[in-house]
Structure 1
């Protein structure tokens, strides 16, 4: 089985969740081939080779990030003292293609190709989530979404992840198989 995990990450939290999902898949099936990569590196050939495509991103303004929301986040992070690494990652993400652009270029697949969606989101009940929009876009491209969209909680604006979320991501990844 070949799994491709594609993620967009501003502060490293979504990347950490994606890597934990990959780890969970490996723990469930040590023979599984898993590619875990940022959206900027996810080309159509790689996604077409996947038996399972897992896509995730941060929640901005109650949904998927946009070019504008990514630039706003990068600008705000640049002003925070002591957050140089997060600011660097935010600048790189804001300067590259995000999930919205990637989805416009994603080729349709035949039914029977499985997919799942996840996001990172704030702890507030009304913070929304990007995963439902990601799942809808996957379905629009004829992927069979095999799990309810999942959200993983980030404390504060830029993290850290809530305690236990990496373990929950590993378990979710294992359950996808």
Structure 2
């Protein structure tokens, strides 16, 4: 059994959430159960054919313009000081993936915490994954940042670890 966490990050916030999810899946830093591995990869290094031993996929990215990033929104983020410069975002990665209908997929995003702000990269990624053929894709969680470049809001890393531990329970045989 293994978990693959694929993320896109421009300011480092989504990367921090991806790493915290992995820690939670590993039971808050303890060793993973025998045979279970957690791999965290930036979208630029993620395989487009998900290996057969992957038993859960997590896909996350920042919310740009109420959805997943695009080439133009990533370029705009760089103009605003982003240090990450992915040429490829989760939108393009999903488009290029070979679907696995049976694979549980959970999406996550980072978003500026503004009351009643519509749009979510996690929601749009789940829709795109289901359209692509990942039938078990579901919207997971949004994690809040204080502004376009962060920092992550109070306790969001802790909440990500807890969600990762919750997801790990689904992997543990009864």
Report the TM-score range of the alignment, normalised by the length of the smaller protein.
0.7 to 0.9
2:136 maps to 144
Structure with the higher helix share, 1 or 2: 1
Aligned-partner Cα distance in 2 for 1:150–1:34: 19
Q: Deviations over 1:99-123 (max 9, x none)?
A: 111111100113x211100000001
1:33 aligned residue = 37
Query: Is the contact made by 2:48 and 2:93 (CA closer than 8 Å) also made in structure 1?
Result: no
Q: Which structure 2 residues correspond to residues 78-117 of structure 1 after superposition, within 5 A?
A: 87-89=82-84, 92-93=85-86, 96-110=87-101, 112-117=102-107
How many angstroms does 1:47 deviate by? 4.8
Specify the alignment match of 1:121 in structure 2.
111
What SS does the aligned partner of 2:5 have?
A: strand
Whole-angstrom CA distance in 1 between matches of 2:2 and 2:39: 8
TM-score normalised according to structure 2 size:
0.86
User: Conserved in 1, the CA contact under 8 Å of 2:50 and 2:98?
Assistant: no
User: Residue 172 of structure 1 corresponds to which residue in structure 2?
Assistant: 163
In angstroms, what is the RMSD of aligned CA positions? 1.7
Contact 2:70 2:91 in 1 (8 A): yes
How far apart, in 1, do the equivalents of 2:162 and 2:25 lie? Answer: 8
SS in 2 for 1:74: helix
For 1:64, what is the secondary structure of its paired residue? coil
Conservation of the 8 A alpha-carbon contact between 1:121 and 1:128: no
What is the aligned partner in structure 2 of residue 56 from structure 1? 60
Q: How many residues are matched? A: 162
Question: Displacement of 1:49 after TM fit?
Answer: 3.7
- TM-score w.r.t. the length of structure 1 is 0.85
Match of 1:84 in 2: none
Deviation at 1:169, TM superposition (A): 0.3
